[in-house]
Amino acid sequence: MKHLTTILVLGSLLLVQPAFAAGKPQGCFTQAEISAERLVRQGLRLREGANSCDGNPWNYHTLSLWQDIDKRFGAQFAQQTKIRKGAFVREFDKDAENRITQWDGRIVMRYRGVSVDDIYCTGIKNQLTEMQKSGWAIFKKRATVAPDDVKFMFKPCG
């Protein structure tokens, strides 16, 4: 009986994980899904900034910093991407992969279209260096400081 109760409790916990549930669309994103979207966007912003500021004419040598961060925190990035994908699968069911590709393309194009200058590159390099020193927690904090396009684009549940 004790084992059956444990199985039922664990099973019910799996059912209530909205980020991975492909159930009915809710018309909104949970707080965890909004957080994941913010983190994915912050990662894309830093990656694209590192690419833009690395070589001529800026020469901030940011690509190697990004590659180190991507290597160190790849599992965390993958987890956030998985949560985000779960929300897209639930909300857009049959068109989820296409929607993800469209959103990613728009986000990347937005960050590639940023006017690059010394101030921008200094900021990108500082954030990458800060993340190397302070870890994932500072990355999460930075992801919530930026203007919140996510809540504008994805209605929060509740």
The pLDDT score that the predictor gives to residue 147 is 59
- 30-58 pLDDT, tens digit per residue, is 999 999 999 999 999 999 999 999 999 99
- What does the pLDDT read at residue 22? 55
Structure tokens at 46: 């830093």
Q: Which residues of the chain carry a pLDDT beneath 70?
A: 1-22, 146-148
CA-based Rg of the chain, rounded to a whole angstrom? 18
Q: Give the separation between CA 68 and CA 58, rounded to whole angstroms.
A: 20
pLDDT of residue 9: 34
Q: Which of 101, 117, 119 is nearest to 109 (CA)?
A: 101
Are 84 and 20 contacting, i.e. CB atoms less than 8 angstroms apart? no
Q: What pLDDT is attached to residue 146?
A: 61
d(CA 35, CA 18): 13
pLDDT of residue 150: 76
pLDDT value of position 93: 83
pLDDT of residue 46: 96
